[in-house]
Amino acid sequence: MIAMSVLHVFKSSQRSQQVVLDEDDDGDASYTQPTSSQVQKARENYTPVQVDRKVAEVVQFILIKDQKKIPIRRTDIVKHVIKEYKALYQDIMKRADRIFEQVFGLKLVEIDAKNHIYILINKLQPVPGEPISMCPGNPKTGLLFVILSVIFMKGGTVKESEYLEYLRIPHTEPLEHEFRWGQRAEKEVSKMKVLEFVGEVSPCLLHSVYSITLLYLSV
Amino acid sequence: MSRPMGDSHKRFLQTLMSNGIISSIQAKALHRHCCETHGAHYSADRLDEFIDVINANLQPMFMYIRKGMSEEDGVQYYALVNTAETDITRMSSDYADNELELFRKTMDLIVDSENGAASSTDVLNCADSLQTKKMKKKETELVLNKFVQDKWLNEKQGVYTLSTRCIIEMEQYMRLIYQDLIKVCHVCHNVAIQSQICENPTCGIQMHLPCVAIYFKGRSDPLCPACNQFWAHEIPVVTCTLSRPPEANGEAEL
């Protein structure tokens, strides 16, 4: 599975290099806007059940990243989740967006329009008199999505877990706390405010995200 | 077409997600709080319907709010669980490969044991022979502590048991992986890790301690429901808020 996704990334970055003279460089090497005929063809190519599953995986992926307080890059979503369904990226993201709002009461917000980085924010206001804490003792549990059933699966995507672990290291407990509190303190989240805040709290984390992803793209 | 979720449902879901697992008392209070906060129609006996709405909306995401019973005290809990394996869940585990392997070995020890528990000594011995990457004593203790913090294991005086959250989440997998090795409660038909076993060697049925307490309540002469032999164990006393645990077959889900 790893070999396949690396190949796929390599191919797509080659393709984007070919058209780089014609297109604005939007800082996003592995995703280029599909043509409307490409989109149409992809819609015919994949069954609704297949696309449904991709949407579910994107939702899970984003929930997990959010739980780990990792801002979500479009490149990551395309590379790790959407893969060969790339032409349907817009369709899939639109549906994921709707699911976040209608099921979880969350909003996917783009905090970096150039590099296409997203975070999840809460559409529900914190309310006094919560019988159970919404922000329990261990802030890492956040929106909990820990999958233990993987212990029954053999074989590992070792590279992926190294990637995830690396990103965790700069993210110590006090940092997380502040991030969470920062989000909840904002009644109206403007892009600039959030970017500022994220930059303030964990500049090394953002740098790590960039450098690790670049490393992977270059393999 | 599933009924759409209101803000009251979303708030309930968010709180459950933040905690992973909540008791039924907490769930009832949360249900009321969420309905009152958003002016939704509230009826105390409609909690299951309320949760059904959430589950119908969660189903396409391979998630589910499942009810289960604590083996320790019979209290009912609600836990948010995953219902299917995807590439994403597989690669996004919070734990390193050798940590997962340690957990698996700990679970093996627990399922295999008579009393549904594993001593820290036994777990430490396993850590020494991990296939992924060996773990030293100090690291093993830290990892075990992590599992306790994350509510997958309970620890008491150096002895580890599976938490309610773990059993609720893992039950279907445990039945699949362990097959006949896994004990099932004669009363409620759910998986029974900690249980009392009929002393009759030709019988050997198992019952959860809280299920024993309810079944034999008030009886001076407890007899095995399967073979009628004397039930030669100490009968635990029913504590205040025990109720019948959910039957294993009563769930409609993936």
Q: Is position B250 within any domain?
A: no
B40 and B98 together in one domain: no
User: What is the extent of the structural domain holding B47?
Assistant: 7-61
- Total domains, chain B: 3
Q: What number of C-beta contacts closer than 8 Å exist between A and B? A: 143
- Smallest CA–CA distance, residue B254 to chain A, in Å, is 14
Residue ranges of A 84-103 with Cβ closer than 8 A to chain B: 99, 102-103
If you average pLDDT over every residue of chain B, what do you get? Answer: 88
ipTM of the complex: 0.82
Q: Which of residues B171, B191, B208 is at a domain's end?
A: B171
| Residue A167 pLDDT > 50 | no
B40 and B113 together in one domain: no
Average pLDDT over residues B3-26: 92
How do residues A129-155 score in pLDDT, each as one tens digit?
Answer: 777 765 444 433 434 444 444 444 433
B53 and B120 together in one domain: no
Query: For residue A161, what pLDDT is reported?
Result: 40
Are B90 and A124 inside 8 Å of each other by CB? Answer: no
- Smallest CA–CA distance, residue B60 to chain A, in Å, is 7
A42/A96 Cα distance (integer angstroms): 18
Average pLDDT over residues A62-66: 84
Q: Is position B77 within any domain?
A: no
B93 and B49 together in one domain: no
Q: Is position B71 within any domain?
A: no
Closest chain A residue by Cα to residue B101 = A151
Q: Is position B189 within any domain?
A: yes
Q: Is position B206 within any domain?
A: yes
B166 and B209 together in one domain: no
- Choose between B254 and B82: higher pLDDT: B82
In the structure, what pLDDT confidence band is assigned to residue A160 with cuts at 50, 70 and 90?
A: very low
A186/B164 Cα distance (integer angstroms): 36
| Residue A204 pLDDT > 60 | no
- Smallest CA–CA distance, residue B185 to chain A, in Å, is 22
B189 and B151 together in one domain: no
Phi and psi dihedrals of B125, rounded to 5?
-60, -40
CATH of the domain at B206: 3.30.40.10
Q: Is position B82 within any domain?
A: no
SS (H, E, C) chain A: CHHHHHHHHHHHHHHHHHCCCCCCCCCCCCCCCCCHHHHHHHHHHCCHHHHHHHHHHHHHHHHHHHHCCCCEEHHHHHHHHHHHHHHHHHHHHHHHHHHHHHHHCEEEEEEECCCCEEEEEECCCCCCCCCCCCCCCCHHHCCCCCCCHHHHCCCCCHHHHHHHHHHHCCCCHHHHHHHHHHHHHCCCCCHHHHHHHHHHHCHHHHHHHHHHHHHHHHC
How do residues B89-125 score in pLDDT, each as one tens digit?
Answer: 655 567 888 888 899 899 999 999 989 999 999 999 9
Are B90 and A157 inside 8 Å of each other by CB? Answer: yes
- Smallest CA–CA distance, residue B23 to chain A, in Å, is 10
In the structure, what pLDDT confidence band is assigned to residue A48 with cuts at 50, 70 and 90?
A: very high
Are A147 and B89 inside 8 Å of each other by CB? Answer: yes
Q: Is position B205 within any domain?
A: yes
Which chain A residues are Cβ-neighbours of B53 within 8 angstroms? Answer: none
**Does A18 lie at the interface with B, CB-CB under 8 angstroms?**
no
Query: For residue A5, what pLDDT is reported?
Result: 33
Of B87, B101, B102, B145, which to mutate for an interface test with A (greatest number of A Cβ within 10 Å)?
A: B87
Q: Which of residues B61, B78, B107 is at a domain's end?
A: B61
Average pLDDT over residues A29-52: 87
B193 and B150 together in one domain: no
B199 and B166 together in one domain: no
Among A155-159, B39-43, B148-152, B192-196, whose mean pLDDT is lowest? A155-159
Query: For residue B29, what pLDDT is reported?
Result: 95
B187 and B155 together in one domain: no
A129/B40 Cα distance (integer angstroms): 17
Q: Decide: pTM greater than 0.90.
A: no
Query: For residue A16, what pLDDT is reported?
Result: 33
Query: For residue B245, what pLDDT is reported?
Result: 57
In the structure, what pLDDT confidence band is assigned to residue B243 with cuts at 50, 70 and 90?
A: low
Q: Is position B69 within any domain?
A: no
Percent residues over pLDDT 70 in chain B: 90
CATH of the domain at B122: 1.10.10.10
B166 and B187 together in one domain: no
CB neighbours of A192 closer than 8 A, spacing ≥ 6?
A: none
Which chain A residues are Cβ-neighbours of B96 within 8 angstroms? Answer: 161, 165
Of A82, A97, A147, which to mutate for an interface test with B (greatest number of B Cβ within 10 Å)?
A: A147
B159 and B230 together in one domain: no
| Residue B153 pLDDT > 80 | yes
If you average pLDDT over every residue of chain A, what do you get? Answer: 63
| Residue A169 pLDDT > 50 | no
Query: For residue A23, what pLDDT is reported?
Result: 34
B152 and B192 together in one domain: no
**A81, A132, A146 member nearest B19 (Cβ):** A132
- Choose between B251 and A52: higher pLDDT: A52
